[in-house]
């Protein structure tokens, strides 16, 4: 399946021209808006993309190239009449689209899930399907939004000025080639916006609504909307599996750091490695065996715990997630965990000279590593069945390191880790047994 | 889909009646032949089974019951004329079969894969599909085997006395309800074996061959064949992923133990736990810190390594494999590994008083556990792509424990494990990176 992205407009309301670039090239969390659209389409499985350019089209073409860099194939259509309505832009893509295609706006941010589901809809000749939001969030600018009125899944009227409406147009369509015929008819009547075209389709009873449910989207039309979009995307980074410490402490901090990191060239894997080295420094500090080194080591351990969220966040925001990256992160986390326990044990031993810390540390290390080992399998099999997401995870462990370092009770930390992590694994064995 | 198992015969050639039971109840590696057939069908996804009994039918019914115990539903048909040919037995199942069904003999042992593939074949009205072996192994009794001659995937002739043949009948069929019509015609002519019936189907050009390829099967007709079957099934226990030590030392020993264990009531999970406790005893011996305790500990470590194969072997032979069992085994292995390293470290430390053994032991433990952690993911992603199955696995580690214990060089063991296991994980990270 192909997709068309309309990127011909100037973006007057957002003041793009004053910034010296067309609106599709304005950056949002490290990526130009249009690159985000392209990567969203790619994530939804669409690799053949037609971009319709107009205002400063050359600049956009230079930035995107043939699309290979993004793992897609981009063809271009030019709209010299970009100052006219956006239906004219879509019509420029006529020769490049297939029998059915997705249409999105370059200035809309979508959950890839919306495109994925929309692309899988069945569509009849002459029909058009429009993604709609039945409960738009408060950040949607209702004055500027295109409203629709839906009856039995059919859109009966559409327009910005609609007084009676029950959903909002999200700016993503599934169309067939027949739409070009409708555009030509509409333009002949002197109307040239997509709303006019869709209104015509609606009047024929051929405009269907696709409810996006809880998925996110936003139309980035103003500076304010750009800020909303940033907040919206950052909010998506909170995982439902995040533990307590992660949710209340690490995630709010890591997303703030990520907001800055996305504008650098640091890749997620490099971030994983940096986070690992900070972990090693923390371990080295513990091994010195003085209260001051414990204290700094403990704060650094919590810092690496925060930073540990950033690699995945950057990866998701910049569409750079990979199974290798997730795995590298996991393995480095295990080595980091082991280094911190070894550092603490060595430090405590230098400090107190008591050999029992070695045995306790040994059990803590065993418990910590085996609980990560059991977590992988457990998640695969059990999580689907159970909703509880309480977990004695890495966020909790590293937070506990910091607390115990501050109160100078790192031996207690080892004892706690030794007991709890091993109990966690035994509990998992028990749960798996009773539920299998 | 349903299946019919013919279990009406007496088993004269194997001397079943002298043993006081009908042939389908003769045991092969812990399971009566017919139970093995039932579980093979279940593993192939067939849960609705018709058993045709004859000679000592009551005894078979009492043993099998309604099949719930085996996770299937069994219905029975009785053949009072069991002394006649086996086509008569199949005809007794007429009222109980579906439009298409699998037919197997209770005295044949099959790879479940054969049934699985056979059941997925498309079959036309009137056709019959027969599983054939184009390169029968030397243990197949060619004098007694039913031969077939195949041309273009059609069987043109079938019979025991065939002089020109290019494959052997494996005793597994995919049939349609039409077969009963053919049986009636054949019996009217005074012939009553399945071979006669199939010959008739072949003459109509409706008997197709299904090549079983490399999958195993055997017809258990004599005492000798029973012994062959045992060897054949034990040979299947060798995994292609077995490491070197496992292949040349552990597996030959463990299959011998398993051959005995299948006749006990010990479940695979109980065996995993027994093996784990022997591991703990080995660790406790190491921790005593004398050469004698090292020696016995080392031998016990190797013994637990051998025993570690038995749980899986018993599970596979008795159709008791489960994802929980595999997981329990893996987690107990990790705790066993950790216990042995801790035992060695403690023992060496008591023996030498040197604190460096703690650090080395710590690195060995970390490497050992993390390499198990990385193995899981690595296998998932990489093994499919690569054929090499060299591995510094548990079999190698525990063998090395024994060797180092014998030569009283357990410190060397810790150093080796510490270096090799960590290198293995780093190598995996590298391979995953370059191949992703």
pLDDT in tens, A314-341: 999 999 998 889 889 999 999 999 999 9
In this prediction, residues A111-139 reach a mean pLDDT of 92
Instruction: Give, in order, the Cα–Cα distances in Å from B413 to each of B26, B279, B303, B368.
Output: 48, 17, 18, 12
Report H helices in A318-393: 323-352, 356-378
Give the closest residue to B126 by CA, choosing from B187, B193, B200. B200
CATH superfamily of A237-435: CDP-alcohol phosphotransferase transmembrane (TM) domain (1.20.120.1760)
Average pLDDT (A5-15) is 84
Q: Does A373 touch chain B (CB under 8 A)?
A: yes
Give the dihedral sign, CA B359/B365/B371/B373: negative
Task: Tell me which of B435 and B387 has the higher pLDDT.
Answer: B435
Query: What is the per-residue pLDDT for A239?
Result: 83
Say what the pLDDT of residue A13 is.
78
Q: Do A2-232 and A237-435 share a fold?
A: no
| Record: contact B433-A381, CB cut-off 8 A | no
State in Å, rounded, how far the first CA of chain B is from the last one: 41
Question: What is the model's pLDDT at position A74?
Answer: 96
Chain A touched by B382 (CB under 8 Å) = no
Give the number of other CB atoms < 10 A from CB of residue A203: 12
Residue with tokens 């024994």: B402
Model confidence band, residue B384 (pLDDT cutoffs 50, 70, 90)? low
Among B327, B305, B203, smallest CA distance to B254 is for B305
B372: nearest CA partner in chain A: A373
Report the residue of chain B nearest A365, measured CA to CA.
B366
For residue B328, the chain A residue with the least C-alpha distance is A429
Report chain A's mean pLDDT, rounded to a whole number: 91
Q: Are strands B147-151 and B154-159 parallel, antiparallel or unpaired?
A: antiparallel
Q: How far is A327 from chain B (nearest CA, A)?
A: 8
The phi, psi pair for B307, rounded to 5°, reads -65, -30
Sketch the domain layout of chain B as residue ranges.
2-223, 237-435
A33-43 vs A57-64: helix crossing angle, rounded to 10: 50
Chain-wide mean pLDDT for chain B?
91
Mean pLDDT of B23-29: 92
Q: CB count, 10 Å around CB of B317? A: 25
Predicted pLDDT of residue A32: 95
Residues A246 and A94: their CA atoms lie apart, in Å, by 49
- pLDDT above 70 for A384: no
B70 contacts B42 by C-beta, under 8 angstroms: yes
Question: What is the torsion angle, in degrees rounded to the nearest 10, for the CA atoms of residue A78, residue A80, residue A84 and residue A90?
Answer: -20
* Residue A77 structure tokens: 């259509």
Count of helix runs (H) and strand runs (E) in chain A: 15, 13
B14, pLDDT greater than 90: no
Residue A385, pLDDT score: 55
Which two three-digit tokens encode residue B253?
């020993």
CB contacts of B358 in chain A (<8 Å) are 345, 355, 358, 362
Confirm if A2 and A97 have CB atoms less than 8 A apart: yes
Query: pLDDT at position B141, please?
Result: 81
Predicted local distance difference test score (pLDDT) of residue B412? 95
What is the tens place of the pLDDT at every residue in B165-218? 999 999 999 999 999 999 999 999 999 999 999 999 999 999 999 999 999 999
Q: Residues, chain A, total? A: 436
CA distance B334 to B274: 15
User: Hey, are the CB atoms on A345 and B362 less than 8 Å from each other?
Assistant: yes
Whose CA is closest to A320, among A34, A24, A69, A1? A69
B338 touches chain A (CB under 8 A): yes
Q: How many CB atoms lie within 10 A of CB B387?
A: 7
- Helix, strand and coil content of chain A, in percent to the nearest 5, comes to 55, 15, 30
The secondary structure element, H or E, covering residue B230 is helix B223-235
Tell me which architecture the domain covering B2-223 has in CATH: Alpha-Beta Complex (3.90)
Residue of B nearest to A433 (CA): B324
Which letter does DSSP use for residue B301 in this model?
H
Q: Is the pLDDT of residue B9 over 90?
A: no
Residue range B60-65: average pLDDT?
94
Beta-carbon pairs below 8 A across chains A and B? 99
A349 touches chain B (CB under 8 A): yes
User: Checking phi first, is residue A190 left (phi over 0); if not, alpha (psi -120 to 50) or beta?
Assistant: left
* For residues B143-157, average pLDDT: 92
- Put simply, the answer to whether A429 touches B331 (Cβ < 8 Å) is yes
Which pLDDT does position A250 carry in this prediction?
94
**Residues of chain A above pLDDT 90, percent:** 76
Q: Among partner residues A324, A338, A355, which is closest to B366 by beta-carbon distance?
A: A338
Q: What does the DSSP assignment read for B131-143?
A: EEESS--TTS-TT
Could A432 and B324 be called an inter-chain contact, meaning their C-beta atoms sit closer than 8 Å? yes
- CA atoms of A118 and B115, how far apart (whole Å): 41
Q: Does A284 lie at the interface with B, CB-CB under 8 angstroms? A: no
Residues of B in contact with A430 (CB under 8 A): none
What pLDDT is recorded for position A15? 73
pLDDT for res B279: 96
Pairing of strands B27-28, B128-133: unpaired
A432–B contact, CB cutoff 8 A: yes
Cross-strand bridge partners of residue A158 = A148
pLDDT(B47) > 90: yes
B335-352 average pLDDT score: 93
User: CA B300 to CA A146: how far, in whole Å?
Assistant: 76
Identify the residue among B272, B286, B329, B334 best suited for mutation to test binding to A, counting A beta carbons within 10 A and taking the highest: B334
pLDDT in the model for residue A221: 87
pLDDT tens per residue, range A392-402: 789 999 999 99
CATH number of A2-232: 3.90.550.10
Which pLDDT score, from 0 to 100, does residue B382 have?
A: 67
* Token reading at A46: 């669409």
Greater confidence (A130 vs B19) lies with: A130
B299: burial class by Cβ within 10 Å (0-12, 13-18, 19+)?
middle
pLDDT of residue A122: 93
Nearest to A365 among B322, B362, B432 (CB): B362
Average pLDDT over residues A119-148: 90
Position A382 scores a pLDDT of 67
User: What average pLDDT does the segment A248-264 reach?
Assistant: 95
| Residue of chain A minimizing CA distance to B382 | A324
Distance from CA of B74 to the nearest CA of A (A): 24
Kindly indicate the confidence band of residue B383, based on its pLDDT and cuts at 50, 70 and 90.
Answer: low
- Specify the pLDDT at position A390: 61
Q: Rounded distance, CA A270 to CA A129, Å?
A: 42
In chain B, how many H helices and how many E strands? 15, 13
Residues of B in contact with A433 (CB under 8 A): 324, 328
Q: How far does the CA of residue B336 sit from the closest CA of chain A (Å)? A: 11
pLDDT at B255 over 70: yes
- Strands B167-176, B147-151: parallel, antiparallel or unpaired by DSSP? antiparallel
CB contacts of A372 in chain B (<8 Å) are: 373
Cβ–Cβ of A370/B365 closer than 8 Å? no
Q: How confident is the model at residue B434 (pLDDT cuts 50, 70, 90)?
A: confident
Residue in A79, A82, A77 with CA at minimum distance from that of residue A101: A77
* Model pLDDT for residues A276-303, shown as the tens digit of each residue: 999 999 999 999 989 999 999 999 999 9
Chain A: closest CA distance from residue B264 (Å): 23
How much is the average pLDDT of A3-19?
83
Which residues from A are below 8 Å from B370, CB to CB?
331, 334-335, 338, 369
Of the candidates B102, B207, B218, B200, the residue with the CA atom closest to the CA atom of residue B149: B207
- Which residues touch B391 (CB under 8 Å, ≥6 apart)? B241, B243, B375
Spell out which residues of chain A touch residue B326, defining contact as CB-CB under 8 Å. Answer: none
In chain B, the residue whose alpha carbon lies closest to the alpha carbon of A337 is B366
pLDDT at A288: 94
User: Which residue of chain B comes nearest to A355, CA vs CA?
Assistant: B355
B334 at the A interface (CB within 8 A)?
A: yes
Does B321 contact A at CB distance below 8 Å?
A: no
User: pLDDT, tens digit, for every residue of B281-336?
Assistant: 999 999 998 999 999 999 999 999 999 999 999 999 999 998 889 889 999 999 99
Which residue in A331, A361, A376 is closest to B429 by CB distance? A331
Nearest-Cα residue of chain A relative to residue B426: A331
Q: For chain B, give the percent of residues with pLDDT over 90.
A: 76
Residue B137: band (very low, low, confident or very high) from pLDDT cuts 50, 70, 90: confident
Give the model's pLDDT for residue B149: 95
Q: How do residues B211-243 score in pLDDT, each as one tens digit?
A: 999 999 999 988 889 999 999 999 999 887 788
Sequence length of chain B is 436
Q: What is the pLDDT of residue B138?
A: 80
φ, ψ for residue B48, nearest 5 deg: -115, 110
Residue B161 pLDDT grade (very low, low, confident, very high; cuts 50, 70, 90)? confident
Question: pTM of the prediction?
Answer: 0.84
What is the spatial distance between Cα A162 and Cα A11, in angstroms, rounded to a whole number? Answer: 24
Q: Residue B325's closest chain A neighbor by CA?
A: A433
Virtual torsion, Cα B208, B6, B114, B226, nearest 10 deg: -120
Strand ranges for B68-159 from DSSP E: 73-78, 100-105, 108-110, 128-133, 147-151, 154-159
Report residue B389's pLDDT band, with 50, 70 and 90 as the boundaries: low
Mean per-residue pLDDT for A244-260?
93
- The answer to whether residue B331 neighbours chain A at the CB level (below 8 Å) is yes
């Amino acid at each position: 399946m192909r997709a068309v992205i309309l990127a011909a407009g100037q973006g007057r309301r957002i003041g793009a021209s004053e910034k010296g670039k067309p609106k599709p090239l304005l950056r949002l969390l490290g990526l130009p808006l249009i690159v985000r659209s392209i990567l969203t389409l790619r994530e939804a499985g669409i690799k053949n993309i037609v971009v319709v350019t107009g205002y400063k089209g050359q600049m956009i073409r230079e930035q995107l190239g043939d699309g290979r860099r993004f793992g897609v194939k981009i063809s271009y259509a030019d709209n010299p009449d970009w100052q006219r309505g956006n239906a004219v832009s879509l019509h420029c893509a006529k020769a490049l689209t297939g029998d059915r295609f997705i249409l999105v706006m370059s200035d809309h941010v979508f959950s890839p899930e919306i495109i994925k589901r929309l692309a899988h809809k069945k569509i009849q000749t002459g029909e058009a399907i429009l993604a709609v939001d039945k409960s738009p969030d408060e950040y949607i600018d209702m004055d500027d939004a295109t409203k629709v009125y839906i009856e039995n899944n059919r859109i009966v009227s559409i327009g910005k000025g609609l007084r009676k409406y029950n959903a909002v147009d999200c700016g993503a369509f599934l169309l067939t080639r027949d739409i070009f015929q409708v555009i030509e008819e509409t333009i002949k009547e002197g109307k040239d916006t997509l709303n006019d075209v869709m209104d015509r389709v609606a009047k024929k009873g051929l405009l269907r609504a696709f409810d996006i449910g809880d998925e996110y989207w936003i139309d980035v039309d103003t500076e304010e909307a750009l800020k909303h979009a940033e907040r919206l995307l950052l909010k998506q980074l909170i995982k439902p599996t995040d533990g307590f410490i992660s949710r209340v402490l690490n995630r709010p901090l890591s997303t703030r750091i990520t907001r800055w990191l996305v504008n650098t060239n640091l890749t997620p894997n490099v971030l994983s490695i940096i986070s690992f080295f900070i972990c090693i420094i923390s371990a080295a500090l513990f091994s010195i065996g003085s209260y001051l080194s414990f204290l700094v080591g403990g704060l650094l351990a919590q810092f690496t715990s925060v930073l540990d969220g950033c690699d995945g966040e950057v990866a998701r925001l910049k569409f750079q997630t990979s199974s290798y990256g997730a795995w590298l992160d996991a393995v480095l986390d295990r080595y980091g965990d082991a280094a911190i326990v070894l550092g603490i044990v060595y430090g405590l031993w230098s400090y107190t000279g008591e050999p029992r810390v070695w045995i306790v540390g040994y059990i803590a290390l065993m418990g910590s590593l085996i609980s990560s080992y059991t977590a992988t399998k457990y998640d695969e099999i059990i999580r689907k069945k159970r909703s509880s997401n309480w977990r004695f995870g890495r966020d909790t462990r590293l937070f506990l390191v910091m607390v115990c370092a501050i109160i100078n009770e790192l031996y207690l930390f080892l004892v706690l880790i030794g007991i709890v992590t091993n109990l966690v694994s035994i509990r998992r064995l028990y749960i798996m047994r009773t539920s299998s």
